[in-house]
């Protein structure tokens, strides 16, 4: 896989330029359509959200410092894109790298991933805790309200970095270095977002800005959470206790090959090839397909189709005995059996 790691600055600039122009053009058309038909504006918010999601995936590459050759260029672009995606670059980068270092490890959950309980942990919870977990993992809440709350509210405070580092052993994954940069990135991001909202609000009206961008932000954040969910919560995925955990198996089998139709694969910048990405995070998104095509060992991974992925929405718990994700009703049946 190493031959696919090298970033191509020209290719990266073309991808970035095309995506930014497409997003801006779509956003402006959506804005102008509000005066004539808000239904039309809502329909146009779908492709606008798609382009915003694509920008987030480019920011994701910047977090791995794989999009450009220069680390400083990746960080600068990541900070800039974070204003649009409501994601402070340096804080998200730290937590996302922790996610890659601990993905599939049952004893090191909670770093840049989605909260998940095992069936045994779920039944050890109090009734109130189980109720909250069921509400949180309900698809209607999980894919609509929670994503927007995560990006619009939680990302405004240096919460995840501090919480993650408190859970890490001293010195593990660079935790002892402090989190000043990540905390400052949150404050800088908040200032830039506030300045952008004020400037654009004065230019077109705050109410107009709200009715145009709120549906875009909601759709983009929901789609992002959906992608992250099906990338790790699917049939035959991989989880293991730390003593048995293996990084390669976690990458190859604990991350899905989400085979999307070509237009959606383009819009999501190949993020569906997640098993390839987890095995080698230094491969930029625009080289993932070539890497997948050239290495025959990847043929052993069963693709997750769009149709099959719909069933993943209700997978909520990990059954350690069966080594598979289960739904709440399945966990109840299993616990009731002698």
Residue appearing with tokens 């293991």: 240
Chain-centre distance of CA 153, in angstroms?
16
Q: What is the spatial distance between Cα 82 and Cα 245, in angstroms, rounded to a whole number? A: 33
For the chain, give the mean pLDDT: 90
Average pLDDT over residues 134-149: 95
Average pLDDT over residues 154-162: 73
* 8 A C-beta contact, residue 30 and residue 50: no
Note the pLDDT of residue 182. Answer: 83
Helices and strands, number each (H, E), in the chain: 17, 3
Distances (CA, A) of 255 to 30, 86, 176, 321, 325: 35, 25, 29, 20, 14
Average pLDDT over residues 107-118: 86
Three-class secondary structure of residue 51 per DSSP = helix
Note the pLDDT of residue 177. Answer: 46
Element (H, E) at 215: helix 206-232
Sign of CA dihedral 337, 244, 112, 167: positive
pLDDT grade for 160, boundaries at 50, 70 and 90: low
Average pLDDT over residues 124-148: 94
Note the pLDDT of residue 279. Answer: 95
Q: What is the spatial distance between Cα 173 and Cα 180, in angstroms, rounded to a whole number? A: 16
- The more confidently predicted of residues 311 and 170 is 311
Q: What is the spatial distance between Cα 222 and Cα 210, in angstroms, rounded to a whole number? A: 17
Q: Residues 1-44: pLDDT tens digits? A: 999 999 999 999 999 999 999 999 999 999 999 989 999 999 99
* DSSP, residue by residue, 87-119: --HHHHHHHHHHHHHHTTBGGG--SSS---EEH
pLDDT grade for 173, boundaries at 50, 70 and 90: very low
pLDDT grade for 183, boundaries at 50, 70 and 90: confident
Q: Residues 301-319: pLDDT tens digits? A: 999 999 999 999 999 999 9
Note the pLDDT of residue 327. Answer: 93
Residue 17 is encoded by which pair of tokens? 């330029």
Note the pLDDT of residue 37. Answer: 93
The neighbouring-strand residues paired with 105 are 240
Residue 323 is encoded by which pair of tokens? 């080594």
pLDDT grade for 113, boundaries at 50, 70 and 90: confident
Three-class secondary structure of residue 78 per DSSP = helix
- The count of other CB atoms within 10 Å of the CB of residue 9 is 12
Note the pLDDT of residue 158. Answer: 83
Length of the chain: 338
pTM for the whole structure: 0.91
Note the pLDDT of residue 157. Answer: 87
Q: Is the pLDDT of residue 179 over 80?
A: no
Average pLDDT over residues 66-89: 96
């Amino acid at each position: 896989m190493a031959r696919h790691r090298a970033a191509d600055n020209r290719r990266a600039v073309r991808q970035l330029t095309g995506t930014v122009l497409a997003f801006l053009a779509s956003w402006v058309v959506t804005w102008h359509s509000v005066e004539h038909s808000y239904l039309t504006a809502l329909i146009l918010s779908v492709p606008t959200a798609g382009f915003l999601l694509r920008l987030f995936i480019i920011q994701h590459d910047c977090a791995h410092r794989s999009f450009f050759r220069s680390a400083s260029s990746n960080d600068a672009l990541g900070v800039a894109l974070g204003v649009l995606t409501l994601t402070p670059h340096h804080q998200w980068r730290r937590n996302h790298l922790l996610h890659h270092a601990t993905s599939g490890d049952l004893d090191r959950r909670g770093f840049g991933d989605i909260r998940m309980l095992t069936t045994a942990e779920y039944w050890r919870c109090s009734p109130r805790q189980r109720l909250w977990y069921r509400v949180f993992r309900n698809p209607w809440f999980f894919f609509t309200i929670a994503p927007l709350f995560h990006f619009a509210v939680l990302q405004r405070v240096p919460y995840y970095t501090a919480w993650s580092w408190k859970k890490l052993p001293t010195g593990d994954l660079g935790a002892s270095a402090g989190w000043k940069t990540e905390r400052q990135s949150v404050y800088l991001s908040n200032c830039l977002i506030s300045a952008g909202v004020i400037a654009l609000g004065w230019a077109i009206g705050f109410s107009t800005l709200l009715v145009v961008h709120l549906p875009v932000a909601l759709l983009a954040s929901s789609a992002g959470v959906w992608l992250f969910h099906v990338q790790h919560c699917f049939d035959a995925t991989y989880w293991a206790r730390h003593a048995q955990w293996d990084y390669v198996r976690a990458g190859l089998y604990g991350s899905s090959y989400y085979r999307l139709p070509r237009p959606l694969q383009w819009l999501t910048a190949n993020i569906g090839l997640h098993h390839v990405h987890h095995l080698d995070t230094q491969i930029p998104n625009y080289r993932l397909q070539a890497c997948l095509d050239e290495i025959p060992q990847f043929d052993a991974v069963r693709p997750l189709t769009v149709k099959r992925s719909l069933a993943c929405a209700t997978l909520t718990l990990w059954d350690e005995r069966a080594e598979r994700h289960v739904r709440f009703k399945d966990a109840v049946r299993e616990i009731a059996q002698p």
